[in-house]
């Protein structure tokens, strides 16, 4: 068998991927305790048999267990959905972002190993005089060390770019040649001094820099053990980053934006357009945080679910629950939106995250029950180090289980405060009118403010004026078509409309119920509403949001139809392909959404029911009840 030559850097990457130190690799794979230091420095090439063995283990790391049957297997990290390489750090890590990377790494490492976080400190500016220290972590109790923290007290110095051995030695000394006070006090307290560099070095080069630091300390009268001075380069930093998926996601967002995949870091989540407005105090946040605490979301294999209607601010509440000022978990958060990424991408990525053994808090927004159940099963496996939080706009019927929390509509004070943030020039009367109309849906008020261009003050606008502003936006085209389409969608809820396809589904039957509409008109109207952002897409299905608008438009549609049309709508029992609706017929779906109109001051629902259930009406008697679709509608 021919051997493929291995570069020293390749040897080190394979060894670190197997979770072995240089000494362990020499003992387990052969060559002796000092062999791998020579292989990785380039001073000695491995034998052909060992090079081939390394290549086999690279592709099949589980085979390592066969080489060490008498000892506990070294945990092997499987590939992550996203991998940071030494090139990401060496070529793209800026001096400004380096302290943030160290802060995230220390927080994630502490959270993953049960280490208190109050002993973490990282300087905000690496250019400021630091006295020999850019960061530190110090703790008592808990583990004596971790894979990347060699002691309970580690002092860090950050260096971007290449640093010579001589320069590394000078880092610990003052201009007068004495050990810098912060460095001396740390060593006297038992610290390990660690330089993190964004440059890549061979093992021999790393050791040379460590030696110069020890020599500098010794020359200034401070002798320390070899192991208490460590120099880590870009490759070792990448290995550390890859043990924490959320930190890897953050770094890839900084260095390779747009290529990460479905999941994003907490900071990227906070930067999304829907989170752009300043936070306003909301009394709903505290009980939500208490729920997440009760569900132990900070511990692996825990799951939780948040439900609530679209537009009430539940995603923003979840974001704020993980805010760094309220929670230590922000450095572990990976956020995705299921309707943006797709169910398959979400499931595939979560499976790979769970298999990797990396610690993360996975947050999936707009997550339907089917996807939640699938990824919850992955998260709850014994080997998983993930926690899971999902959010959904649909509220399940019946009593919620202990793992599900319902967010109620926003208080008027919150809606008014949000309005004041996005439109500070509005008069108090206009703010109160808009808050009253929005009925606990702050997002609705934001979209109306952005669309409003009438000369009439908002305080004097009718409900229909506000509905049209929300539906049509500032530059309405095809006004009648859009409004007719919106009324039909509001009446039937989540419907298969096939915006981008001509396949036969519900669109023909729904369009026939409109006035002067054909199926293509309804598709075009739904597409324009989706572009406006007031219709949400779920594959080939769409739904109009939020509930206050749905109620107003549905009321208009039922009144426009009149009594004879009511019977047609509620007695057409032909089957439909409703998403998440257990094959409800179209008339049953209309009846299901009619219940939203049974709220004061609306009376249309009672009028419709009284008419179709009258003596001699379509639902009278056994025959009326047993007709196709009638039982479902009733």
The larger pLDDT score, comparing residue 25 to residue 215, is at 215
pLDDT for the residue 1 = 47
CA distance 216 to 222: 9
CA distance 506 to 499: 11
- Model confidence at 164, in pLDDT bands (50, 70, 90)? very high
| Residue 210 confidence (pLDDT) above 90 | yes
pLDDT for the residue 574 = 46
- Model confidence at 455, in pLDDT bands (50, 70, 90)? low
- Mean pLDDT, all residues of the chain: 86
Structure tokens at 194: 């660690």
CA diameter of the chain: 106
User: Across residues 283-299, what is the average pLDDT?
Assistant: 95
| Residue 576 confidence (pLDDT) above 90 | no
Helix H or strand E segment including 337: strand 333-337
* SS3 call for 20: coil
* SS3 call for 299: coil
388 phi, psi to nearest 5 deg = -135, 135
The larger pLDDT score, comparing residue 340 to residue 60, is at 340
CA distance 359 to 336: 16
> Please, is 361 exposed, middle or buried when counting C-beta atoms within 10 Å of its C-beta (0-12, 13-18, 19+)?
buried
| Residue 62 confidence (pLDDT) above 70 | no
Decide: 93 and 126 in contact? Cβ < 8 Å.
Answer: no
CA distance 608 to 605: 5
Structure tokens at 235: 């490759």
Closest CA to 153 of 165, 163, 142: 142
Secondary structure letter of residue 381 according to DSSP? S
User: Across residues 201-222, what is the average pLDDT?
Assistant: 94
pLDDT for the residue 375 = 96
What number of other Cβ atoms are within 10 A of residue 198's Cβ? Answer: 24
| Residue 539 confidence (pLDDT) above 90 | no
The larger pLDDT score, comparing residue 255 to residue 216, is at 216
Decide: 632 and 584 in contact? Cβ < 8 Å.
Answer: yes
| Residue 634 confidence (pLDDT) above 80 | no
- Model confidence at 261, in pLDDT bands (50, 70, 90)? confident
Q: Which residue has the tokens 């959904």?
A: 392
- Model confidence at 124, in pLDDT bands (50, 70, 90)? confident
User: Across residues 306-318, what is the average pLDDT?
Assistant: 94
- Kindly give, in sequence order, each residue whose CB lies less than 8 Å from that of residue 312, ignoring residues fewer than 6 positions away: 407, 408, 409, 410, 440, 441, 442, 443, 546
| Residue 616 confidence (pLDDT) above 60 | yes
* Highest-confidence segment of 36-45, 46-55, 85-94, 97-106: 97-106
pLDDT for the residue 500 = 56
Q: Where is average pLDDT lowest: 126-140, 143-157, 182-196?
A: 126-140
| Residue 397 confidence (pLDDT) above 50 | yes
| Residue 249 confidence (pLDDT) above 80 | yes
Percent of the chain with pLDDT over 70: 90
pLDDT for the residue 575 = 42
pLDDT for the residue 499 = 57
pLDDT for the residue 580 = 35
pLDDT for the residue 68 = 59
Q: What is the pLDDT of residues 352-374, one digit of tens each?
A: 899 888 899 999 999 999 999 99
User: Across residues 169-178, what is the average pLDDT?
Assistant: 93
Percent of the chain with pLDDT over 90: 44
| Residues comprising the chain, all counted | 634
Q: Where is average pLDDT lowest: 105-119, 230-244, 459-473, 500-514?
A: 500-514
CA pseudo-torsion sign 560, 565, 570, 574: negative
- Model confidence at 65, in pLDDT bands (50, 70, 90)? low
User: Across residues 188-196, what is the average pLDDT?
Assistant: 96
Structure tokens at 329: 């978990």
Q: What is the pLDDT of residues 374-395, one digit of tens each?
A: 999 999 999 899 999 999 988 8
The larger pLDDT score, comparing residue 118 to residue 16, is at 118
pLDDT for the residue 72 = 42
CA distance 228 to 193: 6
pLDDT for the residue 71 = 43
User: Across residues 309-327, what is the average pLDDT?
Assistant: 94
| Residue 423 confidence (pLDDT) above 80 | yes
Q: Where is average pLDDT lowest: 56-65, 205-214, 518-527?
A: 56-65
Q: What is the pLDDT of residues 542-572, one digit of tens each?
A: 888 888 899 999 999 999 998 888 888 888 6
- Model confidence at 578, in pLDDT bands (50, 70, 90)? very low
- Model confidence at 287, in pLDDT bands (50, 70, 90)? very high
């Amino acid at each position: 068998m021919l051997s493929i030559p291995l570069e020293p850097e390749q040897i080190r990457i394979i060894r670190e991927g197997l979770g072995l130190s240089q000494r362990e690799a020499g003992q387990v794979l052969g060559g002796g305790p000092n062999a791998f230091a020579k292989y990785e420095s380039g001073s000695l090439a491995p034998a052909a048999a060992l090079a081939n063995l390394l290549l086999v283990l690279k592709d099949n790391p589980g085979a390592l267990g066969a080489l060490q049957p008498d000892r506990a297997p070294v945990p092997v990290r499987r590939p992550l959905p996203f991998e940071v390489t030494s090139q990401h750090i060496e070529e793209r890590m800026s001096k400004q972002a380096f302290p943030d990377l160290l802060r995230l790494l220390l927080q994630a490492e502490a959270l993953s190993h049960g280490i208190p976080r109050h002993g973490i400190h990282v300087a905000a500016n690496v250019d400021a005089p630091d006295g020999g220290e850019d960061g530190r972590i110090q703790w008592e109790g808990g583990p004596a060390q971790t894979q990347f923290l060699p002691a309970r007290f580690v002092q860090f110095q950050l260096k971007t770019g290449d640093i010579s051995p001589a320069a590394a030695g000078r880092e610990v000394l003052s201009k007068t040649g004495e050990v810098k006070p912060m460095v001396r006090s740390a060593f006297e307290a038992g610290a390990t001094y660690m330089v993190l560099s964004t440059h890549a070095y061979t093992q021999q080069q790393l050791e040379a820099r460590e030696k110069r630091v020890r020599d500098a300390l010794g020359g200034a009268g401070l002798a320390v053990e070899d192991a208490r001075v460590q120099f880590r380069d870009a490759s070792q930093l990448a290995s550390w980053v890859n043990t924490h998926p959320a930190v890897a996601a953050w770094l890839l967002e900084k260095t390779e934006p747009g290529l990460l995949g479905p999941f994003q870091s907490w900071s990227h989540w906070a930067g999304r357009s829907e989170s752009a407005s300043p936070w306003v105090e909301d009394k709903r946040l505290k009980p939500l945080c208490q729920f997440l605490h009760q569900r132990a979301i900070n511990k692996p294999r825990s799951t939780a679910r948040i439900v609530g209607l679209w537009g009430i601010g539940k995603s923003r509440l979840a974001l704020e629950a993980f805010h760094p000022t309220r929670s230590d978990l922000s450095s572990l958060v990976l956020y995705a939106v299921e309707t943006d990424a797709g169910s398959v991408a979400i499931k595939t990525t979560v499976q790979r995250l769970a298999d990797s053994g990396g610690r993360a808090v996975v947050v999936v927004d707009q997550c339907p029950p089917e996807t939640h159940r699938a990824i919850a099963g992955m998260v709850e496996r014994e080997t998983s180090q993930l926690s899971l939080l999902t959010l959904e706009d649909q509220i399940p019927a019946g009593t919620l289980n202990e793992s599900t929390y319902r967010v109620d509509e926003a208080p008027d004070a919150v809606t008014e405060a949000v309005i004041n943030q996005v439109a500070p020039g509005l008069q108090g009367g206009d703010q109160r009118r808009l808050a009253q109309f929005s009925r606990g849906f702050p997002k609705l008020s934001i979209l109306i403010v952005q669309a409003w261009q009438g000369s009439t003050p908002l305080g004097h606008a009718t409900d229909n004026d506000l509905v049209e502003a929300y539906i049509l936006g500032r530059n309405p085209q095809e006004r009648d078509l859009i409004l007719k389409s919106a009324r039909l969608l509001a009446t039937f809820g989540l419907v298969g409309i096939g915006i981008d396809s001509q396949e036969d589904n519900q669109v023909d039957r729904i369009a026939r119920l409109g006035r002067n509409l054909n199926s293509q008109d309804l598709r075009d109207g739904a597409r324009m509403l989706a572009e406006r952002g007031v219709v949400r897409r779920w594959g080939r299905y769409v739904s109009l949001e939020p509930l206050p608008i749905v109620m107003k438009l549905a009321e208009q549609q039922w009144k426009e139809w009149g009594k004879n049309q009511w019977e047609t709508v509620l007695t057409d029992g032909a089957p439909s392909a409703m998403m998440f609706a257990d094959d409800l017929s179209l008339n049953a779906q209309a009846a299901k959404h009619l219940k939203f109109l049974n709220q004061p001051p609306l009376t249309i629902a009672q009028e419709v029911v009284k008419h179709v259930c009258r003596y001699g009406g379509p639902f009278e008697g056994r025959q009326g009840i047993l007709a196709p679709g009638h039982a479902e509608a009733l």
